[in-house]
Chains A and B, each alone.
Chain A
Amino acid sequence: SQQGEEDPQALSIQEGENATMNCSYKTSINNLQWYRQNSGRGLVHLILIRSNEREKHSGRLRVTLDTSKKSSSLLITASRAADTASYFCATAVGGSNYKLTFGKGTLLTVNP
């Protein structure tokens, strides 16, 4: 069963706009990660946030985590056409700090 669920399933914006994607999960986590997948390629790790952290930044990426609501959001600021990809959240749960459960992803399209 899917642990994480991204919302929305698809998002289309103009270059320069910000993109926000959300992830909800069901059980307590050790950490939550976001990955990007360009069409026809493998996944690439973007950022990890631990369960005791609330916010993290990396370049144009900002991730928040609300463990009380079991949700996370990924914000991409000043989006570029090259940001067009699918974005997945993944959670490490239980006694495993390495086995990840992925959501179904958000397809982001950034129009030039």
Chain B
Amino acid sequence: NAGVTQTPKFRVLKTGQSMTLLCAQDMNHEYMYWYRQDPGMGLRLIHYSVGEGTTAKGEVPDGYNVSRLKKQNFLLGLESAAPSQTSVYFCASNLLETPYNEQFFGPGTRLTVL
């Protein structure tokens, strides 16, 4: 199993450009999450999904949109990138009924907005 994969690994955007980050998991997990990690800030939840076709806002959702058309994929979109969105983005997933609730993380996408 590949676990959680993220595409791309690195990206540089200019202010105002748009892009989509792709997260894929092959563990049949119900729940998926997008976080951003900034220096000294830890991880902050952007959006999450509790199942195919559902999405919900997290702590810092402004400027981002998400879609979960297939159970295994969770897309994060930036419609008009801003320098404040320069960050490392992590996707994670876990099972609906796991007693341990651990989240499995992807390797991250490093995004720079100029």
Q: Which residues on the B side are within 8 Å of A31 (C-beta)?
A: 101
- Whether A48 lies near B42 (C-beta < 8 A) is no
- Rounded to whole angstroms, the CA-CA distance of A99 and B35 in the bound complex is 11
Residues of B within 8 A of A102 (CB): 35, 42-44
Decide yes or no whether A108 CB sits under 8 A from chain B: no
Query: Which residues of A sit under 8 angstroms from B105, Cβ to Cβ?
Result: 42-44
Which A residues between 40 and 55 are near B, CB-CB below 8 angstroms?
A: 40-45, 48
| Total A-B residue contacts, Cβ distance less than 8 Å | 51
CB of A97 within 8 A of CB of B42, answer no
Q: Give Cα A92 to B98, complex, Å.
A: 14
Chain B hits for A88, CB < 8 A: 42-43
In the complex, are the beta carbons of A45 and B104 less than 8 A apart? yes
Asked if B103 contacts A104 (CB within 8 A), the reply is no
Q: Mark A64-87, 1 if CB is under 8 A from B, else 0.
A: 000000000000000000000000
Question: Which B residue's beta carbon lies closest to that of A88?
Answer: B42
B residues within 8 Å of A by Cβ? 4, 31, 33, 35, 40-45, 48, 50, 58-59, 90, 92, 94, 100-108
